[in-house]
Amino acid sequence: MPRSFEEKLALYAKLAVRLGVNVQPGQELIISADINDAPFARLATAEAYKVGAKNVTVFYSDEVNILTRYREGSREAIEYTAGWFIDGMARAMEENACRLVVHGGNPALLKQVDPELVRIASKAQAIATQKLAAFIGNFTINWNIVASVSPEWARMVFPGESDEVAMAKLWDAIFQCSHVDTEDPLKSWQDHCDELAKRKDWLNNLNFYSLHFKGPGTDLEIGLAENNRFIGGWGQARNGVRCAPNIPTEEVFGMPHRLRVNGVVSSTKPLSLRGQIVDKIQVEFKDGVAVKAKAEQGESTLIGLLDTDESARRLGEVALVPNSAAVSRTGLLFFNTLYDENAACHIAFGRCIGENMTGYENLSPEQRLAAGANESAVHVDWMIGSGEIDIDGVHKDGSRVPLMRSGEWASA
């Protein structure tokens, strides 16, 4: 008998808590969600207590209030970040609280807001929350991010449909990509993560010096950082807990060398960034820096991101995703980075992920930079893969191994 929507949503919450975050007995869980996602957050809260969580705290955001801040707030209000809140979150994570982020809402929420105000607020927020971002990016704690559907998001993915139909279709796609519609979602997800782990082990054993991407509008060589370590599927947090940080996930990703990225690259999917849509991005890199960048839509938002700090124009992540991945097979453009990045190869401007460098936690900031790690207040993924992309792994002696041809794995 087919599962009802309510049964699927409950399984989705169970998957996020028990396998995604992998909440441990006695651990605190912090959930962040939009106020409209309260039904899912309540299910996740119940699951966390069932596995022995000591405490669950849910922080809700409200998109109406976010818009009100831009429309009615002073310049001081727009620049302000609540340090007391950030300090409290950091203290909780220092004490081993884990994290679940429920990502949804309106991808184009700030479309009508002055881009300069968005740039100011986003930069202030990124700089103020660097410490929190480090807990996630460096896998200090176990964490997970999942998506939840809003009417605004559903209408973007399924234009022309009623809210009810569009939301039902988008939820169906999410349940499909998250394995919720399988007989045993937790077992299916475990098997999937195990397969991704095999792929990352294969890449790590080859010990490449760089990756070369070639496709329409793209001819880019991405040098890999010293002691680069590809990650895929599972994440091993430094607190000893294994988690699956993204649901869904189809990527195997590594760390670019901050000084060794050269060539040109074009985006293959729109990017939802700071409440705006940025599309048809073209970037030229020289010695690791994005020296030229433009976009047919949302260019000012893109430039605002790149001007956040001196390292925002460098790369912090390179990820390989086959064109036949489950998210890609839906044939949908999600306008949501969690989903679109798992439908295509992608790169990220800004901050590196410390877990991608063996021994990262034992290095000084100067040693990390020397090894190629990029430190920035931002980390933004954007999609460059398609069924027309070819990728070679390049050894230091110049020899090459075909990794992808026409967007699919070519080896192993």
Q: What is the pLDDT of residues 1-32, one digit of tens each?
A: 789 999 999 999 999 999 999 999 999 999 99
238 falls in which pLDDT band (50, 70, 90)?
very high
Mean pLDDT across 203-223 = 98
Length of the chain equals 412
**Helix (H) or strand (E) segment spanning residue 21:** none
* Cβ atoms within 10 Å, residue 401: 15
Beta strands at 28-34 and 55-61: parallel, antiparallel or unpaired:
parallel
CA atoms within 13 A on the CB side of 128: 16
Taking 90 as the threshold, does the pLDDT of residue 323 lie above it?
A: yes
- % of the chain surpassing 90 pLDDT: 94
Q: Which two tokens stand for residue 160?
A: 């022309």
Tokens of 162: 């009623």
Residue 412 has a pLDDT of 61
- The architecture CATH gives domain 5-177: 3-Layer(aba) Sandwich (3.40)
Cβ density class 287-325: b for 16+ within 10 Å, e for less: ebbbeebebeebbebbebbbebbebbbbbbbbbbbbbeb
**Residues 58-64: what's their mean pLDDT?**
97
Q: Which DSSP category does 18 fall into?
A: I
Determine the pLDDT at residue 2.
87
Domain limits, CATH 3.40.1830.10, in the chain: 5-177
What is the reported pLDDT for 138? 87
Q: 163-201 in b/e burial notation, b at 16+ Cβ within 10 A?
A: eeebbbbbbbbbbbbbbbbbeebeebbbebbeebbebbe
